[in-house]
Amino acid sequence: MRSPLSLIAPAFAVALLLPAATSLVHGPYELQHWFETRHERTKSAEGPRLTPSLVIDTFQDLLHNDLGFWHGTGENLTLQHEPGSMRLFPTHPDQNFHTQFNAYGCFSLLPWQDHFLHVVFEGNEDFTVSLNENNAECSPNRAPFPGVPDSVQASRYVMRTREESSDDGTDDWDEGFKLVQQPEMKKPPPTNNSYRDDVHDDNGQAPAYSERTELFIPLSHFRINQHRVVSVSFSGFYTKEPILIHRVEFVSNIPAPSPSNNQFTIPEKLPTGQLVLRCSRPNSFAFGIDDGQPQYAQDVMRILDEEDVRATFFAVAAGLRDSSTNFTTFYQEMLKKGHQVALHSNTHPRMEGLPTLGQIDQEIVQSMLTMRDELGIDCTSIFPHHVGMTLTKDPNSLILPPPFGTVGARMRQQLAQHIRNPYIVNWSVDVEDWLWANTSTPEKQLEAFYRDIARGGNLAVMHFLDPTTVAYLPQFIRHVRDAGLHIMRVDQCLEDPNSPNL
Ligand SMILES: *[C@@H]1O[C@H](CO)[C@@H](O)[C@H](O)[C@H]1NC(C)=O
Ligand SMILES: *[C@@H]1O[C@H](CO)[C@@H](O)[C@H](O)[C@H]1NC(C)=O
Ligand SMILES: *[C@@H]1O[C@H](CO)[C@@H](O)[C@H](O)[C@H]1NC(C)=O
Ligand SMILES: *[C@@H]1O[C@H](CO)[C@@H](O)[C@H](O)[C@H]1NC(C)=O
Ligand SMILES: *[C@@H]1O[C@H](CO)[C@@H](O)[C@H](O)[C@H]1NC(C)=O
Ligand SMILES: [Zn+2]
């Protein structure tokens, strides 16, 4: 079952669209006037780079960044703004904060491809940093919505600098930084969607900083389409401490390792798997069928038989081990019929929100063991991801749809440690059964399905939790066929070399 992430997708889209009404439309290369040449603290060996730094956000404005575009949350994340900083009060791994490069569209990172994403912040380091990528059409009316093909774990890239005495700021952002310093992180306010403006309630003077925390992340560590970037985002929070962000920018150089910064160097890029939102095979379509209710399983099987369609099932391991569900027998039969059965975690938590890597590992290890023991799908590796996972015959090629669509850097890294280049399956067609199945208008599931296909989506996610969703399955299938698409398993639609021939 998913929902919160999907629930916010429309909100995110609205948020993306809002600034469009008030901003000029900018193309990818029309931001030159925003560039700011910045005094470099350290010259690289080759001398200064050609592309100057790009200041993205110094949080001078409540709703807009330094590029003139929207920043904020499309979700249920409490924010507190004062000129020069934005404080986030995360409570949930699905929450996120975006600062955009454009009103809505695609921004090209090409001029900065050798640069570093630099973030000056205080507080919680337990989050994921992402560059969100738009769809191929750079359009809000196409599927999928902007997604996160790759992300990094913030805490791996933190540089801590001891501050000496501080008044010789040679560097513009030093000053900005000092202006907004806060004595301590405040307790999170009650969570709602509002901005808080009661931030000046500290009862003392701010002590001088003794330590500055910054992130330096090479843009090359984000494996994304460089031409279709929408925003920088912070998400995947796995603790609830506030985060105070002062500055987001691209810089061409990083400080040299020194005793004052604990000999900081950039960590190696960890593998993070491949996030999949669409089928790659031309004219293909795939149904990813998540967890469901045992009593509807036979109906799903009968419909797929009648329609002669093969699909991919994402099975929760705990359900397989529970013999009262009959799921093991069911999935064994589905495997014989040529369907694919793939991983969907052990207990279906939001894996990225689990506090320890050990817990994320357990979700993956236990689900792999269960897949082997119950279904004979053998994995020699361990995958620590929680969202959703699909196993192909090749244990090195694991497909995983994350429960709730919650995808963060730790989950991805852990997964990729155990499975070489895993697929992490998201979707571009959402039946929205989680939204409409139990309402007086269940037919909205059909509308959602048709809408996403009209937008170009070809990888669907659905559950068999509700009889209405199952009852619509034949109509979904017919609609896909009428659109001229060929229905197949997820591994086949991804052209996985280990997938069975069509
Ligand atoms: C917002 O967060 C609060 C507290 O975490 C939660 O109770 C509420 O359901 C959330 N609302 C939405 C729309 O996600
Ligand atoms: C997964 O897909 C949904 C719907 O397109 C999108 O809102 C979400 O951002 C995607 N998740 C990631 C990690 O890309
Ligand atoms: C959110 O918090 C603000 C300030 O505390 C309050 O005025 C407002 O009513 C709250 N909104 C909701 C939906 O709880
Ligand atoms: C369990 O699943 C098998 C295989 O699909 C099926 O033949 C059998 O009828 C199911 N049993 C129950 C009680 O649903
Ligand atoms: C609809 O409600 C039933 C009963 O509360 C629940 O078991 C089922 O999971 C719900 N369906 C969906 C799709 O949320
Ligand atoms: Zn699920």
Atom of ligand 3 nearest to the CA of 192: 1
Ligand 4, from 326, 328, 337: best to mutate by most atoms within 8 Å of Cβ? Answer: 326
Give the amino acid at 107: F
Model confidence pLDDT, tens digit, residues 455-479: 999 999 899 999 999 999 999 999 9
> Looking at the domain that runs over 24-30+52-268, which CATH code has it been given?
2.60.120.430
* Helix, strand, coil share of the chain (percent; to 5): 30, 25, 50
pLDDT of residue 210: 63
**Closest by CA position to 196, among listed 205, 183, 187:** 187
For the entire predicted model, the pTM comes to 0.76
Q: What distance in Å separates the CA atoms of residue 37 and residue 52, rounded to the nearest whole number? A: 5
Question: Beta partners for 159?
Answer: 214
Cβ atoms of residues 215 and 159 within 8 Å: yes
Which residue type is seen at 399?
Answer: I
- DSSP annotation of 127: -
Compute the distance between CA of residue 140 and CA of residue 199 in angstroms, rounded to an integer. 35
Residue located nearest, by CA, to atom 11 of ligand 3: 192
pLDDT at residue 36 tops 80: no
Is residue 116 pLDDT above 70, yes or no?
A: yes
Report whether pLDDT(29) > 50. Answer: no
Instruction: Tell me if domain 24-30+52-268 and domain 275-493 are identical in fold.
Output: no
d(CA 96, CA 109): 21
CA 78 – ligand 1 centroid, Å: 10
What residue spans define the domains of the chain?
24-30+52-268, 275-493
Question: Do residues 290 and 460 make contact, with C-beta atoms less than 8 angstroms apart?
Answer: no
- Out of 138-142, 171-175, 195-199, 236-240, the most confident range is 236-240
Better pLDDT: 107 or 18: 107
Mean pLDDT of the region 169-177: 42
Distance CA 116, CA 189 (A): 33
167 in Cβ contact with 268 (< 8 Å): no
Query: Are the C-beta atoms of 105 and 243 separated by less than 8 Å?
Result: no
Q: What is the pLDDT of residue 402?
A: 58
What's the 299 CA to ligand 6 centre distance in angstroms? 19
Minimum mean pLDDT among 51-60, 158-167, 312-321: which range?
158-167
Q: What pLDDT band is residue 66 in, cutting at 50, 70 and 90?
A: very high
Model confidence over 208-235: pLDDT tens digits? 446 889 999 999 999 999 999 999 999 9
With 80 as the cut, is the pLDDT of residue 48 above it?
Answer: no
Q: Which of 99-108, 267-276, 358-367, 412-421 has the lowest mean pLDDT?
A: 412-421
The CATH architecture assigned to 275-493 reads Alpha-Beta Barrel (3.20)
Which residue from 340, 453, 343 is spatially nearest to 398, judged by alpha carbons?
343
